[in-house]
Structure 1
Amino acid sequence: MKNYEIIDKLYFEHTASKAELVALINTISDEELEHLRKKAQQTAQKYYSNKVYIRGLIEISSICKNDCYYCGIRRSNTNAVRYRLSEQQILDCCDTGYSLGFRTFVLQGGEDGYFTDDVMCRIVEQIKQKYPDCAVTLSLGERSYESYKRLFSAGADRYLLRHETADRTHYEKLHPSEMSHSNRLDCLYRLKKIGYQTGAGFMVGSPYQTTENLADDLLFIKNLNPQMCGIGPFIPHKDTPFAKFPNGSVWLCLMLISIIRLMLPSVLLPSTTALGTADSNGREKGILHGANVVMPNLSPLEHRKDYSLYDNKICTGDESAQCISCMKRRMKSIGYEVVTDVGNYIEP
């Protein structure tokens, strides 16, 4: 099957075989990529018009018990600056964000034992009580079914947990032996079962990744059918075992964003900070390739540079108001409108 036929199959049938995906990724030309991009953009606009949803990102802790080989806040990195936001600081970030028009707050952090269910439930309840018109998204790693259930009952609406790779062998090259690939995937199915709007995702160009791995990731996402999917190029951090590995390809990342849009037509698909870090116009390109979410940073200014998952992260010195103003201007320049909306998933 020729690449144009594979792209059209994705557009009309929202699926492709592993062999077709591998062939497309390996052999796509610039002209074929533009055809794919247009189909993805049309599909995103069918559901979301020219609207780009903003999520206010609050990075609550750079403390993590895990030792993932690619991550700058891994447990073994003695150079990492560790901080933990207080409950009041988190609520203050939400106050700032609400006044700027944010209606979704994303609380993201390392797996920090301080943030027990009791602590997190109290924080979520306070946010929802003060701002009942807002959604709360959590991205706090692997937790038990009971923990996820309690947080959902407290009012959390969405949960982001990148699966990182669908292939166990590849997973074990990226993580220490005490971390379990099966548990990571089980967490995603737990979240779906409980009723969260669930987000999965992976790094593009992570060490040892093959085209077959990418095809498996796409098919895993198709099967999981998450409401959200976040991908971005791998960017090394200088204080990790992968410091010398090259950046992931922006070109490949954009292609995969378009494929995901066609496989999951109404998915909430971010144009990530990592994409904007790897390419100065990366976030705009992501939107043009079918993404429809951006996540400006609401974290306290003094801690933004300390939440360092990878090197040279952008927007660590911007005030929140500057961040959103810049984002609106950037999106307007490509014909899109940043909307202050909860921005829920639309069933296809």
Structure 2
Amino acid sequence: MTRDEILAYLKGKDDAGLFAGARAVRREIFGDEIYLRGIVEFTSFCRCRCNYCGLRAPNDEVFRYRLTEAEILDAVDELAALDLPTVVLQGGEDPHYDVAFIGRIVRSIKARHAIAVTLSLGERGPEAFSHWRECGADRYLLKMETLDESLYGTYRPGCDFQQRLAGVRTLQRLGYEAGSGIITGLPGMTLETLADDILAVTDLALDMISAGPFVPHPQTPFGAESPGDPQLALRTMAILRLLNPHANIPATSALETVREEGRKQGIDAGANVLMFSVTPASVRKNYAIYPGKNQETRTAAHTVQKARELIRSMGLSPSSSLGGSKVGKVGAP
């Protein structure tokens, strides 16, 4: 797909055809399976100053929390009991949790459960990435938000674009299933920027790719900006599916936040992954990277059950498999 073709689809050239094509590609590669993941958001502390994120270090209004080792493992036990085959350990870039602590958590999870472990802890350096891989971590998510270096500096002041991009490549070299992603509709992002982002993230040959709409947080410098168009996010997901047929692509929680039945529409646009927070209810709503995040007050068991019902209602199958990447696998369709 050329850049001009991508731009035409982003402008709404043929949503019905685009989404139908994305669904057909997903079915060819993944059959009827939709993979399920559980997320444990174990710290809301962050050293970064990202202008779009409610957890940014200068935000004095957000409630900060840190889970103990026992609390993290209890949440993982709950996840495993719900037959969720992957745990995503996610948090702000919080140096309070050192390399050894995270490694010990990963080893404990692997000893207790036959599940995949995904880490999403920001930039920690090659030595940390290598150690956690040796401890048994399977996957790592390191979001870029944009592949436009000048805009990256606007969105993530004080952060080094090339260093983060090198981190993605280090994860791939170490044998992780590596993931990244973009936010659509960020301030200053044009359709041309987004088209270039789609091509650039495709060039990375990632195992996991996410694309969700920008949701402004009032306690950030971007708080008064307009939210991203959810339809544009759906188009981006569908294009990414066509260009990256073997990648795992989630229907993000941001979609569900900004549009009713957003996750259903994400699946209709080619997504093959749903993710749910199993962070303890006492702190779950405080992982407020954007308004509306983690506001579900019912139990994780209820949320997962409703998601399985949704998947079945679409003629698809909620999978209990580990849902590993098919990128570059010998014999993959």
**What is the TM-score when the length of structure 2 is the normalising length?**
0.96
1:297/1:315 contact within 8 Å kept:
no
Deviation at 1:210, TM superposition (A): 1.0
From 61, 73, 83, the equivalent of 1:91 is: 73
Secondary structure in structure 1 of the residue aligned to 2:58: coil
- 5 Å-filtered alignment, 1:97-116, equals 97-116=79-98
My pick for the range that moved more, 83-92 or 335-344, is: 335-344
CA contact (8 A) 1:235 1:248 kept: yes
**Contact 2:284/2:294 (8 A) holds in 1:** no
**Equivalent position of 1:123 in the other structure:** 105
Indicate the SS of the match to 1:105: strand
Instruction: Give, in angstroms, the shift of residue 21 of structure 1.
Output: 2.1
Q: Which residue of 2 aligns with 1:9?
A: none
Give the partner amino acid of 2:272.
N
- For the 8 Å contact 1:82–1:306, the answer to whether it is kept is yes
How far has the Cα of 1:18 moved from its partner?
Answer: 2.6
Residue identity in the other structure for 1:182: Q
Deviations 1:55-86 (A, max 9, x none): 01100100000010000000000001000111
- Give CA-to-partner distance per residue, 1:125-177, whole Å, 9 cap, x none: 0000111x21000000011111100010010000001111111111111121x
Q: What amino acid is aligned across from residue 169 of structure 1 in structure 2?
A: S
| Residues 142-221 of structure 1 mapped to structure 2, 5 A cutoff | 142-176=123-157, 178-221=158-201
SS in 2 for 1:82: coil
Which piece of structure 1 moves more, 200-209 or 316-325?
316-325
Counterpart Cα distance in 1 of 2:152 and 2:109: 35
C-alpha contact 1:315 1:323 (8 A) present in aligned 2: no
Q: How far off is 1:313 after superposition? A: 2.0
Please state how far the C-alpha of 1:332 moved relative to its aligned partner. 2.0
Q: Residue 81 of structure 1 corresponds to which residue in structure 2?
A: 63
Q: Which has the higher helix share?
A: 1
Amino acid at match of 1:111: E
Paired amino acid for 2:299: E
The 8 Å contact of residues 173 and 208 in structure 1, kept in 2 or not, is answered as no
Does the 8 A contact of 1:276 with 1:314 survive in 2?
no
TM superposition shift of 1:315: 4.5
Q: 1: distance between equivalents of 2:292 and 2:8?
A: 33
Q: Give 1:318 deviation, angstroms.
A: 2.2
Instruction: Give distance in 2, aligned partners of 1:314 and 1:130.
Output: 27
| Alignment-derived partner of residue 330 in structure 1 | 310
Deviation at 1:24, TM superposition (A): 3.3
Matched residues in 2 for 1:168 and 1:71: separation?
Answer: 19
The alignment partner of 2:178 has SS state of strand
Secondary structure in 1 matching 2:282: helix
Deviations 1:289-346 (A, max 9, x none): 1000000111000111100000122543121111111111222222222122211112
- The 1-side partners of 2:262 and 2:311 are apart by 12
- Stretches of 4+ moved more than 3 A in 1? none
Q: Is the 8 A contact 2:287 2:293 kept in 1?
A: no
Gap regions ≥5 residues in structure 2: none
Where does residue 4 of structure 2 map in the other structure?
19
Question: Which residue identity lines up with residue 324 of structure 1 in the other structure?
Answer: V
Deviation at 1:212, TM superposition (A): 1.7
Instruction: Tell me which moved more, 32-41 or 326-335.
Output: 326-335
Matched, 1:135 2:120: no
Number of the residue aligned with 1:293: 273
Structure 2 equivalent of residue 222 of structure 1? 202
Q: CA deviation at 1:43?
A: 0.5
CA contact (8 A) 1:237 1:243 kept: yes
In structure 2, the CA distance between the partners of 1:219 and 1:46, relative to structure 1 (3 Å rule), is same
Give the structure 2 partner of residue 233 of structure 1.
Answer: 213
SS at match of 1:53: strand
- Aligned letter for 1:240? T
Separation in structure 2 between the aligned mates of residue 202 and residue 137 of structure 1, nearest angstrom: 18
Percent of counterpart pairs with the same letter? 36
Question: Aligned partner of 1:153: which letter?
Answer: E
**Alignment counterpart, residue 44 of structure 2, candidates 56, 62, 65:** 62
Q: Which of the numbers 242, 249, 254 marks the counterpart of 1:269? A: 249
Residue ranges of structure 1 left out of the alignment (5+ in a row):
1-15
RMSD: 1.1
* Distance in 2 (alpha carbons) for counterparts of 1:277 and 1:184: 28
Partner in structure 1 of residue 31 of structure 2 = 49
CA distance in 2, matches of 1:241, 1:198: 30
What CA distance in whole angstroms lies between the structure 1 residues aligned with 2:277 and 2:9? 35
Retained in 2: the 8 A contact 1:228–1:267? yes
Partner secondary structure for residue 137 of structure 1: strand
| Residues 201-236 of structure 1 deviation map (CA, whole Å, 9 limit, x = unaligned) | 011101111112111211112110100001111001
Alignment of 1:238-253 (within 5 A): 238-253=218-233
CA contact (8 A) 1:297 1:323 kept: no
CA distance in 2, matches of 1:117, 1:95: 22
2:179 corresponds to which letter in structure 1? G
1:125 alignment partner AA: R
